[in-house]
Structure 1
Amino acid sequence: MQHPIYVTKTRLPEPETFSRLCKDIFQRAWITNNGQCVQELERTLAEYLGVSHVLVCNNGTMALMLAIQCAGLAGKKVAVTPYTYVATLSALLWLHCTPVFVDIEPDTLCLSPELLRGRFEEEPDIAGVLPVHIYGLACDVENLDALCREYGAVLIYDAAQAFGSRYHGKSLLEYGDYSICSFHATKIFHTVEGGCVVYHSADAHKALPLARAFGHINDTHYSLGINGKMSELHAAMGLSLLPGTDAELARRREVRAMYDAALEGLPLQRPALREGLDWNSAYYPVLLPDEECRVLAEQTLKEHGIHPRRYFYPTLNTLPYLKEEWRVSCPVAEDAARRVLCLPMYGGLNSKDTQRVASYMNSALYGSAKLFSSNF
């Protein structure tokens, strides 16, 4: 019987490594409120990423909300991609921002700077821009930065999927006024639940830790805050996993190469990689020729124990709870969402796994599946 292959598989550290850190936490009896493991994780992440400041949080959505709040964007207009996970939009709506959807580039699937310029010209009161390094791929950071400087907008990157991606030698989290990352268990690096904000300014260095901890220090209250703190146990998971992250990234590159070879010749479109990008291979997205092919491919794979995902569907500009005036057509994103399928991707996949996936993709598209032996 063939073993199931899921779209991802959570990385776990050696039990002894995690247990040793947990034992230390128990001895200190300090399990939250900016404890030793949280502080150490922030230091080691800043060193690993090559950035000046990292603030860890209890999840990626909270990290994004803290960045939006501390950037002064709450209640204002923010341009955002429609092609991403719903948490990107949720953070804006919880802070009463008005989303201004800007369609994506057809090759990279990232927010289009050209279309963003048009929205700035139509709506000069746009105060911030929230692009997403979708699938860990790089946005057009040079043009987006130039546009935001020209129009005086704050640039916050949702880099939830971009841990380990580097662009021209720098972490993708280094770009923008703020970048946020998710440390959810499905990500390459995780803390079970968690996230971080990468920032650069002295004002942010003062405001973000305060906002994360209810806005007060002891009995003195300085600002509006929320509980965005990460626990010591979650930080311990991150400290246990970080040393093996480079090996996971290298293995994912090997898996991506296996897929590229196994799927060669099939009518699949892949997002373009910008020159200078060292991609983390967080996902393996393909665009099928049309929605009918996508449905057939997904059904065929699932019938044989392979579980891809439709990352990202539906597009955010079509969600039913949006105000009518926020709904705009984003044809490129909507077309991609109808045709996209993310194939299983994690370091533990082997060549037989990728060949099995490729064979059933071939079966769906051409009706010529190979027969698999029981050693699968």
Structure 2
Amino acid sequence: MNFSNQAPKAFDQPVYVTRPVLPPLADYTQSLAQIWQSGFLTNGASQHQALEQALCDYLRTPHLSLFNNGTLALLVACQALQVKGEVITTPFTFAATPHVLAWNKATPVFADIDPETLCIDPSSIEHNLTDQTSAILGVHVYGMPSDVHAIDTLARPRQLKVIYDGAHAFGTQLDGQPIVQHGDATMLSFHATKLFHSAEGGALCMADPDLKKQVDLLKNFGIKNEEEVLLPGINGKMNELQAALGLLVLQHVDAEKQRRQAVRDIYTERLQAVPGVRLLRMPANATDSHQYLIVRVNAAQAGCDRNELHQRLKRFNIITRKYFYPLCSDYDCYRHLPSADPRRLPNAHRVASEVLSLPLHGGLSANDVHRICDAIVYSLHHA
């Protein structure tokens, strides 16, 4: 491959990894007028009810419970499923994943990741099982499906709960089936950085109607009715303003996916032959959530390492993310755990030093993506 010695032109404004999908402001204003007319701003009113049903239909999940953010949804899932003792999870994830275990007084046990999917490795899960293990908390990293069948094979004979952090996996399917149909519960994040969002928000998907009832109680202080409080709950309810925005954003999700696929196609065409730069790709039997576009940088082949590329791209106003770095097992609050020993997590440590999230959203033109690729190729060989 020929590399130009002429530096590409920098973008006038920063180009970030993502940009929220926003419906026409007039449409949201109309929804707000309906909310004002109703006089109900929260507590599961009409917008909330409509969004829950719309998402059940879109995601093909039997039951869904909306939350004001994904972290509280995951926290409540652990409460509802009564996780305790040790819970096996991945260090290659966002901080919220192990934090919800700590808040539930459970001990995170970090298992290594698969070097190709970057999701938790079932063989490492098996190696970390003890008589104190109560659950497995997997993560569909970047929307990549975890090895749900292998995890189920490990969990069911031992009566372990299986929870998935699906923050990146909105709409992901495996063998034609929604990924949210696996496990006892799957959390989805509707933060503004996500493909589908409600500014802030989240949800739990589940098949068990009794679990749905328990979750709904827990997110509403444990209140059953005006005179009965059944258990110690929390306030995790999504409000009407969030739900109204979510209903409108949902109308634009499929079109945004198509735009992001076009962006991904250009990245693939331009970067697939660049030495030392490898795009993370979905397996043939899985659909892409189009949440992130990840490359792995092999310093020995690429000309520079991931950290240096991350810094060099800033000269062109291209703001990438070292996502996920550092590993959760390296946080001060977890590094004392025996499972946090780097010698037990070789794949996770190697991958965390290689991954880089590139800009991926429908607001990028074809020319924008080509300019980003030009800057990547140039930056690999020019300090």
TM-score of the superposition, structure 2-length normalised? 0.92
Moved more, 213-222 or 226-235: 213-222
Instruction: Spell out the pairing of 1:139-154 with structure 2 (5 A cutoff).
Output: 139-154=146-161
Q: Distance in 1 between matches of 2:15 and 2:190?
A: 22
Counterpart-to-counterpart distance in 1, 2:135 and 2:156: 11
Q: Hey, what does 1:112 align to over in structure 2?
A: 121
Partner of 1:131: helix, strand, or coil? Answer: strand
Q: Is residue 234 of structure 1 aligned with residue 247 of structure 2?
A: no
CA drift at 1:251? 1.3
| Residue 188 (structure 2) aligns with | 181
Relative distance call for 1:323 and 1:334 in structure 2 (3 A) is closer
Matched, 1:168 2:175: yes
Residues 272, 279 of structure 2: 8 Å contact kept:
no
Q: In the alignment, which of 253, 256, 259 is matched to residue 264 of structure 2?
A: 256
- 1:371 aligns to what? none
Match of 1:300 among 283, 298, 312: 312
- Aligned-pair distance for 1:276? 0.8
Task: Note if contact 1:290-1:338 (Cα within 8 Å) is conserved in structure 2.
Answer: no
Aligned-residue offset at 1:248: 0.9
Tell me the CA shift for residue 201 of structure 1: 1.1
Distance 1:235 1:220, change over 3 A: same
Using the TM superposition, name which of 289-298 and 251-260 deviates more: 289-298
Q: Distance in 2 between matches of 1:229 and 1:23?
A: 21
1:323 Cα deviation (Å)? 6.1
Q: Larger deviation: 86-95 or 263-272?
A: 263-272
What's the secondary structure of 2:139's corresponding residue? coil
* 1:287 pairs with one of 279, 293, 296: 296
Task: Determine the C-alpha separation between the residues in 2 that align with 1:12 and 1:261.
Answer: 29
Which residue of structure 1 aligns with residue 3 of structure 2?
Answer: none
Determine the C-alpha separation between the residues in 2 that align with 1:198 and 1:264.
Answer: 36
The residue that corresponds to 1:374 in the other structure is none
Secondary structure at the aligned position of 2:186 is classed as strand
Following superposition, the deviation at residue 318 of structure 1 comes to 1.0
* Structure 2 residue 95 is the aligned partner of structure 1 residue 83: no
Distance 1:365 1:72, change over 3 A: same
CA shift, 1:319, in A, is 0.6
Equivalent pairs: percent with the same residue?
A: 35
- The counterpart of 2:358, out of the listed 328, 340, 343, is 343
1:212 equivalent in structure 2: 219
Please list the CA deviations of residues 44-76 of structure 1 after superposition, one character each: whole Å capped at 9, or x if unmatched.
Answer: 000011111010000000000111100011x32
Match of 1:359 in 2: 374
Aligned to 1:94: 103
Does the aligned pair in 1 maintain the 2:198–2:243 contact within 8 Å? yes
2:341 to 308, 318, 328: 328
CA distance in structure 2 between the aligned counterparts of 1:290 and 1:133, rounded to whole angstroms: 26
C-alpha separation in 2, matches of 1:104 and 1:323? 17
Secondary structure of the residue aligned to 2:168 is coil
CA contact (8 A) 2:21 2:252 kept: no
Distance apart, 1:146 and its partner CA? 1.3
- Secondary structure, in 3 states, of the residue corresponding to 1:107? coil
Tell me the CA shift for residue 272 of structure 1: 4.4
Q: Which is worse superposed, 47-56 or 322-331?
A: 322-331
Q: Distance in 1 between matches of 2:356 and 2:20?
A: 20
Structure 1 unmatched runs, 5+: 369-376
SS in structure 1 at match of 2:196 = coil
**Count of aligned residue pairs for this structure pair:** 365
Amino acid at match of 1:23: A
2:49 aligned partner = 39
3-state SS of paired residue (1:204): helix
What is the distance in 1 between the residues matched to 2:180 and 2:261? 20
Is the contact between residue 130 and residue 155 of structure 1 (CA under 8 Å) also seen in structure 2?
A: yes
